[in-house]
Amino acid sequence: MTALRVDVVIVGGGVAGLWCRWALANAGYSVVLLEHSKFGDGQTVASQGILHRGVKYALSSEAARAAAAAEESARVWDEAMAGTVGPDLSRVEVAAKSMLMWTDAGLLSKLTGAIASKVLTSHVGPANSAEIPSFLERRGRTVYRIGETVVNPVSVLRCLAEASSGPLVRATVRSITPLASRTMVTTDAGEFDAGAAVLCSGAGNAELLRLLGQQPEHWMQRRDLHMVAASGAPGMLFGHWVAAATDKPRLSITSARVDGVVHWYLGGALAESGVNRDVDEQIAAAKSELDMCFPGMSTDAWQFRTVRIARTEGRDAAGKRPDSPVVRSIESLGVIAVWPTKLVMAPAAAEGVLRLVASRLSPSKSTPPSFGPSSRPDYALPPWLSRP
Ligand SMILES: Cc1cc2nc3c(=O)[nH]c(=O)nc-3n(C[C@H](O)[C@H](O)[C@H](O)COP(=O)(O)OP(=O)(O)OC[C@H]3O[C@@H](n4cnc5c(N)ncnc54)[C@H](O)[C@@H]3O)c2cc1C
């Protein structure tokens, strides 16, 4: 079989792969994106969809840089969602235009300090009573509104997939072989002779790096989470309950209404500390946290389930938790490996990829090969919605 010649092959159709595809195609590169399962079938559809503007980072004194990076990325999303600059995301479903952040007495000074910082001033203010659901009201509680939009991640994937016209192909990669200045990607759907291969497979980058004879631990790391999905909540809520003892949200809650039933998706410290709990223990811990946060609200009739998923991130030279996207070029193998770190930072990751590709090859401006609609992958469902 003759290999199809393209400028760039992207492996992985989550938010990173699809945003990179748009950026490269927009610059005139012919691009084929390969997805082995469903679009976003990893972290993207499991994410809470919060376009962080750095508020939660700013609670930690070391994280000012992360706050500024998140703010910059969120601005790119604003423009794309307004349909003015970047991929047309004007049809992305906005679940909430802002989030709430609340704390119980002790942390007030820390929050106030963060709010006073330059990055946050325009995005944080006291929530007015109409914005605070009755089940959240509590004596001594301070509730802020933060200008962080929450999006439906599946709608993001749909918009990105439609934002440019290169082929999206369901395929399993069998090998990736560097050949002089090009890279041969062999799959069950054919062979691709590419000027560059961009690995955007999230956790799946481990397997691809192994195919290339690399040790994944050298390039990437995972942080396991044990999220909780609860259905039967009394109303929609998007917010962070900020813990007194740490600078992290004790609970981060996002919501969806499906067939009239309100689902809460619970992350934050609960999901991090719950990694070593089994399902029953994690559900018990979630109920206890909800009880502490919303005294008097009964969860007896709610239905709970848990979702185990890892955040997959790039590893920087110091092996620290990255606060910006990691885009690593493995020159000798002709591949670029990408971990956006956060949904919100996908545009910055795509910009980094475009810079690296442009340093290696000029856009051919040729039309990529076409594939039939039957080869196009479907969209994954959020794990809290799909059947166990
Ligand atoms: C529980 C959770 C909550 C989060 N909440 C937020 C949030 O609120 N805000 C935020 O900004 N970030 C959030 N994040 C982080 C964010 O979701 C991720 O940084 C981002 O989605 C990563 O995108 P990705 O495209 O790199 O990877 P993924 O979304 O994992 O996509 C990888 C894709 O590659 C495909 N793939 C895998 N292996 C192969 C292979 N061998 N060949 C071909 N295709 C392959 C997969 O099927 C998948 O489609 C959250 C993450 C988690 C886990």
Closest CA to 197 of 20, 14, 58: 20
Domain layout of the chain by residue ranges: 98-149+222-313
Asked if residue 70 has its Cβ within 6 Å of ligand 1, the reply is no
pLDDT attached to residue 26: 97
Q: Which residues contact 5 (CB under 8 A, 6 or more apart)?
A: 192, 193, 194
User: Distance from the CA of 117 to the center of ligand 1, in angstroms?
Assistant: 31
206 CA distance to ligand 1 centroid (A)?
13
Q: Is 42 in the pocket of ligand 1 (CB under 6 A)?
A: yes
Any atom of ligand 1 within 6 Å of the Cβ of 46: yes
- Nearest-atom number in ligand 1 for the CA of 349 is 26
d(CA 239, CA 222): 25
**Does the C-beta of 225 come closer than 6 Å to ligand 1?**
yes
Q: Is 11 in the pocket of ligand 1 (CB under 6 A)?
A: yes
Name the residue of 56, 248, 343, 344 whose CB sits within 8 Å of the most ligand 1 atoms, as the mutation to test its pocket: 343
Nearest ligand 1 atom, CA 252: 8
Q: Considering the entire predicted model, what is its pTM? A: 0.94
Local structure of residue 275 (DSSP, 8 states): G
47 ligand 1 Cβ < 6 A: yes
Q: Given this model, what pLDDT does residue 52 score?
A: 85
Residue 343 CA: nearest ligand 1 atom is: 11
Q: Which residues, 6 or more positions from 259, have their beta carbon under 8 angstroms from its beta carbon?
A: none
Q: Is 384 in the pocket of ligand 1 (CB under 6 A)?
A: no
Q: Are strands 303-314 and 31-35 parallel, antiparallel or unpaired?
A: unpaired
Distance 188 CA to ligand 1 centre (A): 23
* Yes or no: domain 98-149+222-313 corresponds to CATH 3.30.9: yes
Residue 291 CB partners (closer than 8 Å, separation 6+): 297, 299
Q: Is the CB of 101 under 6 A from ligand 1?
A: no
Does residue 206 have its Cβ closer than 6 Å to ligand 1?
A: no
Q: Cα(116) to centroid of ligand 1, in Å?
A: 33
What is the distance in A from the centroid of ligand 1 to the CA of 46? 8
Beta strands in 3-64 (DSSP E): 4-11, 31-35
> What confidence score (pLDDT) does residue 119 get?
44
**Residue nearest ligand 1's atom 19 by CA:** 342
Q: Hey, which of 240, 282, 342 would you mutate to test ligand 1's pocket, going by the most ligand atoms within 8 Å of its Cβ?
A: 342
Nearest atom within ligand 1 for CA of residue 200: 26
Ligand 1 atom at shortest distance from the alpha carbon of 40: 49
Residues in the chain: 388
pLDDT value at residue 41 = 97
pLDDT at 140 (0 to 100)? 74
301 to 231, 256, 266, 309: CA distances (angstroms) = 9, 18, 17, 26
pLDDT in tens, the chain (388 residues): 689 999 999 999 999 999 999 999 999 999 999 999 999 999 999 999 999 876 656 555 556 666 777 778 888 999 999 999 999 999 999 999 999 988 875 555 555 555 545 445 557 788 998 999 999 987 778 888 988 999 999 999 999 999 998 899 999 999 999 988 899 999 999 999 999 999 999 999 999 999 999 999 999 999 999 999 999 999 999 999 987 656 678 999 999 999 999 999 999 999 999 999 999 999 999 999 999 999 889 999 999 999 999 999 999 767 677 888 999 999 888 899 999 999 999 999 999 999 999 999 999 988 888 888 789 999 999 988 865 4
Closest-lying ligand 1 atom to the alpha carbon of residue 48: 8
